[in-house]
Amino acid sequence: MTPTAATQQPEGPTGSQHLFMRVVLGALTALLAVNLYTGAPLFAIWVGSRVQNGTQLTMGTVAVVIGTLIASVFALVWMLTRVEAAYKVLTNQPTKRRVSPWLRSMRGERDEEEHRRPLTGFEKVLTGAVVVAVVLFEIWFFFFSGSPIG
């Protein structure tokens, strides 16, 4: 080791930078996940309202709304996969593909403990976003939506 090599800063992020990047990627994951079921449909409806002429709904407008929804959801899912890949690289998680349980060979069964692994931060944020959405929907439905029966 040369004297200058001993005084050089290590390559890569430091502890605080590493934590900051993990928080940023987690926040970005939450933002994208929430927009997947709120922002994309609202954006599609807004685009449809700009295409609509008058008050009579047309099939062309419906097609525009559906097409916009498909494109925006595809874009959000693509961005979520890119954020997940960045999170895995940042946290040094393995990036190999996992085989779904129903696609595994029955001959290759192993102990259940071997297949268990803790949730990653990315998966925790996605799960949290879905749980919060379901709880908020249930609160609205049971307490604020009113009765549909006269």
- Beta-carbon contacts of residue 2 (< 8 Å; ≥ 6 apart): none
d(C-alpha 20, C-alpha 17), whole Å: 5
Please give the full DSSP string across 39-52, using - where no structure is assigned.
Answer: HHHHHHHHHHHHH-
Residue 57 in contact with residue 66, Cβ under 8 Å? no
Q: What is the pLDDT of residues 52-104, one digit of tens each?
A: 888 888 999 999 999 999 999 999 999 999 998 888 888 887 766 766 767 77
pTM of the model: 0.66
d(C-alpha 27, C-alpha 121), whole Å: 11
